[in-house]
Amino acid sequence: MQATENGTGGSGVLSFAAVDVDYPASGGARAALVMAGDRAFSKIIAEKTAFVADVAPYVPGQFYLRELPPLRAVLAGVTGIGLLVIDGYVDLAPDGRPGLGAHVHAELGVPVIGVAKTLFAAATHAVPVVRGQATRPLYVTAAGLPAAEAADLVRRMSGGFRMPDALRHVDALARGNRTPSPAG
């Protein structure tokens, strides 16, 4: 899958992606991807899911071992990503202890923004972002771009709810609550 031109005048193909993973009660993992041509994710231009039958057990502090294989599966064949948004943390503490997003950033070499719904106690560096009419913040971390810029991007993402529309959409795909569109 190749992304479409984002209209920034750059010489290469560039798009913005969000990913999520769900673990059905029947086993395995379903990963989902949505892509947009702009940082606000104002219009989804492609979507994809992938299922991985065997997944590692959850180990506190090593979530990436469970989450990376499904993410690799859904990202296989996808080119032109200029920014990736994940559900989770990039790093787990101010000292740079790597979380899922840091591992994804190291593998892909693209900027990664982590958006977490709950505060991880050691993540005192995460930037709280309140969206819409919500009272509870999202917690934003980043690799490959400043955290303040990442937080501003999340604040401006399309949608009027606590969770940006793209993250709600990719979550629904990962949970199997919707299927990828034929164009995806």
- pLDDT confidence bin for 139, thresholds 50/70/90: very high
Under DSSP, the state recorded for 109 is -
Q: In what order do the strands lie in the sheet with 15-22?
A: 44-52, 29-36, 15-22, 81-87, 112-116, 138-143, 127-129
- pLDDT confidence bin for 63, thresholds 50/70/90: confident
Q: 15-175 has which fold?
A: archaeoglobus fulgidus dsm 4304 fold (3.30.2170)
Residue spans of the domains in the chain: they are 15-175
pTM: 0.89
Residue 9's pLDDT is 33
User: Contact 170/158 with Cβ under 8 angstroms?
Assistant: no
- pLDDT confidence bin for 181, thresholds 50/70/90: low
Residue 3's pLDDT is 37
User: Contact 34/170 with Cβ under 8 angstroms?
Assistant: yes
For the CA atoms of 76, 166, 140, 111, what is the dihedral angle to 10 degrees?
A: 40
Query: What mean pLDDT, rounded, does the chain reach?
Result: 90
